[in-house]
Structure formats: structure tokens, C-alpha cells
Amino acid sequence: MVLIDQNHQKITEFMKSIFNFKIKFKEKYLVEKLLNNSANGVIYSGFRKSDSMPVVVKQIPKSRISKFENVCGRNIPSEIYFHMTASGAPGVVKALEFFERRTSWVLIMEKPTNSIDLFEFSSQFGALSEGAAKIIFRQVVESCIHLKSRGVFHRDLKDENILLDIKTLETKIIDFGCATDHEDREYTELTGTPEFCCPEYYTVSQYKPESSTIWTLGTFLYVLLFGDIPYENKTDIIRGTRTKYDESKLSPTARDLLQSLLSMRPSKRPTLEGVLNSEWLNGC
């Protein structure tokens, strides 16, 4: 709790330093290209005028924002607050600064080079070897541990929200639109991507941060190893039966880890540190 409180204080001080409403977005940045237009916002590529540094610009309409955090006496969108809180953690895309405009909020982020999201990567290349999957999966698990230490519960970890540098295999987590405080309690708000949500999300409408994150990581690992999600819908997740691919082709340690991550009982799933120390991740 002390570490989380210290992180909150640091992010508050950081936000005070950049919360300058006299500086306008257009004075500092130039937008070049539309990258994505979704219900959660519009994403562009662009650059910073002072040094031509490439950036990603996310414009979030005020009409679509329902949750805020109070910082320095002002309410800012929860997505921006939690991304700023997570920024600087290994494996997280850096949030650089933000602006409030008349009808929207604008978040400026770093633009990693040679990167595509893992959904696109899997669509192009399909299942990975266990060796390649280990390199990617380990980084994401480590990033989840760092997010937990900063008091951030992402709640929408999936292949689309993880960027991969196709040259170095370095990963970076994006999109904190569903994020909230990471606390050891039951959550009841249903949010995130349905195919990646844990069974208790649907059966009792309650879930805990770590055990639900572990399930999501299991779904993500399945995507890495088979190029596809293990369950197609809510009914399949509740049943917990996986028949889409032949899991016997995996190594015994990979099967054991996958089975533990996708355990139907939250209490049977490992901790994040347990995953990091698993035999599969640490074996040859």
C-alpha cells in the first residue's frame, strides 16, 4: 500500500507540472494520419513540432467519458490518469502529456518503431513456436507485475492492446480505457473484452484483479501458441471446455501452465509471480 501511495503522489506531482491549460495542443503537435477510429476515441500519428519526434495522438470525445479522477482540484478522464500512472513502467507505452479541448481530451503517447499489435501479428503469422511465445509472454507478465505495484488494474489485456516490435520482439501495453485502481477486493463492474474475460465475470458478476488478470494471460498465451482464442463466447468460457486445437502437441510444461492459468476456479490459478517462476518460462 505504501508503494502505491508513493506512486499516486509522484503521478500527482507530475501532472501538476504538465497541467498547463495555457498551452494549446496545436501549438506543440502536428497531426498527420488517421490510424484508428473507434467508440473509445480517434487515434492519429503525428509529431512534436519542437524536435519532430513521432507521437501517437488519441482524441477522446467528452461525450464518451463517464469516469474521472480528481487531480490538483480538476477532474481528468480515468483513462488518462491510469495511463499516466502506468507510464514509465517496463513494457508500457509512455504517455507524454495531455490537453483539454472544448469537446475532447487529447492524450499524447510515444510511437514505438517497427511495431504492430499482436492481433495483427497473429493474423499474419499464426501460432508461434514455444520459444518465441516465451519471449513475448514473459515480458507481458512482468509488465502486469509492474502495473500491480503501481496500483493499476488494466482490465482489458488482450492481443490488440499489446504492441510488438517485430525486430526485437519487445512488447508494450496500450489502451487504459478500462483501467481502475488495483485493490484486493471483489469487483462487480463488467468491462473489458468478452472473449478474454474470466468465467466468474459471467457466473457471479464478481472478480478479483490478480486472478482475473491470470485468466486473461491464459487466453493471451493460448493466442500465442495457437494463433486463436480458446473460447469463442460467454457460453464456452462458462463451460471451460477447450476443443479447438490439439493441446497435446505442446510441451508438458506449456500444457501445465496453460491449464493452471485457465483454471475455472480463481483460487486454483497461480499468482503473477508464480507465473513468472513457472517451469515453462524458466525451462530450456
Query: Residue 156 catalytic?
Result: yes
Q: Taking the CB of residue 13, how many other CB atoms lie within 10 A of it?
A: 10
Angle at 72 between CA 100 and CA 74, to 5 degrees: 45
**Torsion from C-alpha of 278, 281, 282, 283, nearest 10 degrees:** 110
Q: What is the DSSP letter of 168?
A: T
In angstroms, rounded to a whole number, what is the distance separating the alpha carbons of residues 275 and 269?
A: 9
Angle at 77 between CA 71 and CA 83, to 5 degrees: 85
Q: Which of 212, 203, 133, 204 has the alpha carbon at shortest distance from 180?
A: 212
Check 51, 117, 156, 165 and give the catalytic one.
156
In angstroms, rounded to a whole number, what is the distance separating the alpha carbons of residues 237 and 150?
A: 30
What are the distances in angstroms from CA 9 to CA 6, 72, 256?
Answer: 5, 11, 41
In sequence order, what E strands does 80-176 have?
95-100, 104-110, 115-117, 152-153, 162-165, 171-173
**For residues 96 and 54, is the Cβ–Cβ distance under 8 A?**
no
In angstroms, rounded to a whole number, what is the distance separating the alpha carbons of residues 209 and 183?
A: 7
Residues with active-site annotation = 156
